[in-house]
Amino acid sequence: MSLPSDFLWGFATASYQIEGAVDADGRGPSIWDTFCATKGKIAGEVDGKTACDSYNRTADDIALLRELGAPSYRFSLSWSRIIPKGGRGDPINQAGIDHYVKFVDDLLAVGIVPLITLYHWDLPDELDKRYGGLLNKEEFPLDFENYARVVFKAIPKCKYWITFNEPWCSSILGYSTGYFAPGHTSDRTKSPVGDSSREPWIVGHNFLLAHGRAVKVYRDEFKEKDKGQIGITLNGDYTYPWDPEDPRDVEAANRKIEFAISWFADPIYFGKYPDSMRKQLGDRLPEFTPEELELVRGSNDFYGMNHYTADYVKHGDGNPAPEDFLGDLTTHSYNKNGECIGKETQSFWLRPNPQGFRGLINWLSKRYGYPTIYVTENGTSIKGENDLSPPAILNDTFRVDYYENYVNALAQAVSEDGCNVKGYMAWSLMDNFEWAEGYETRFGSTFVDYDNNQKRTPKKSGEKMKALFDGLIKKA
């Protein structure tokens, strides 16, 4: 079992989850600032106002990466730091650009490769108020294209670009369940606005158009000179049929992946939405015009893969509710025979199942012609971890085992199954603001003491990561 000599590993974070400094140096508010200010949306009524204070502590973060031996670092930019109001006619904030340019220079100066995500859920709030944000097919893709061009021009030294992180989450959790910003849902007890039966599919379509526009800009104006690559990051669980003897459960298990991943990947690789989605959603799923298809099809230099867990899947009754987004099915932690998918964690949706990681890498590889895959997130929370304090919280053996099992499953997919995986980013470099779960859930390989000036202390999982990859990556 081994990984190629040019395999890239490191850690990942996202701007709103770690930066803090929400009012510093001209940054404008994002939809997450607004969402956090709405009572009842975030556990503990907290926000990202300070988070890990990474905006003011980039030197500390780089020192931490060096201490852990990480050769690369995936992070996202705050759009509203760079263009505070977000639009293509709005002023650019040079202080925001300068911050990220210096950060990239400082990373490269110590040999750490940056992977930059343009958008990790934090849309400038002004665009949401101005024209409905992600729901606006005419304006949003053009504003994102402009933002992308500004960033590409400012940071030519970055060679790995990701347009969007997990558009499924922004579309479904933001516009169906209302669990994430901007909180749209048909449930009027949660939000005065939203149509869960239609809005998520419109938003998903607009993400693809915006992605296509940004990729075209990079390829047309920057790629030849800067020699970088660009892709999108999609999230999805692996699935097993609840009853492997029931062909309806087998079909439903495959359909769940199509509704999560192929929703975005099929248009990029095949130029169309999955048949299973069209069958269930009908005209609620937008159609691509010829011009849109030309933008979207082929718009990936690599496949960005976020993955955490697996599910047992049971088929539905053939009459899904209008707001159903799973694909007429239910997910379960136990199968028909009473076998459990994996141990509980602090996250209700996450149970470790490393063989599912290998399974999904193979599923993606076979469906999409063995593309280059970069795993851009993988990690776990630990049940009750936030109740601990040092030194106990540093001894995160559950996470150590998770990483070891998952990374070895990845290595098997590469060396035994022939899959083309070229990178792995552990989520997360440090404990941070975990969206609707606030600070109650920790994913970090580094303990952040929020009560003591955001002091960072590596956990065992962070300290063991280098040795794990040193044992698997072939020497050049």
- Active site residue ranges: 166, 377
Helix or strand run (H / E) with residue 154: helix 140-154
* Region for residue 14 given its phi and psi (left: phi exceeds 0; alpha: psi -120 to 50; beta: otherwise): beta
Nearest to 126 by CA among 38, 28, 19, 25: 28
Distances (CA, A) of 411 to 2, 169, 341, 408, 420: 6, 28, 21, 5, 10
Q: E strands of 399-445, at which residues? A: 421-427
Distances (CA, A) of 458 to 117, 127, 251, 445, 471: 24, 38, 43, 6, 21
Distances (CA, A) of 33 to 105, 119, 120, 410, 467: 28, 15, 14, 36, 39
Nearest to 304 by CA among 401, 460, 130, 162: 162
* 90 alpha carbon, distance to own chain's centre: 27
CA distance 40 to 112: 40
CA distance 205 to 441: 31
Nearest to 305 by CA among 423, 144, 224, 472: 423
CA distance 442 to 103: 25
Per the DSSP assignment, residues forming a β-bridge with 232 are 303
Task: Look up residue 321 and give its two tokens.
Answer: 């509710």
Q: Which amino acid is at 34?
A: T
Q: Half-sphere exposure of residue 274, counting CA atoms within 13 Å on the CB side?
A: 20
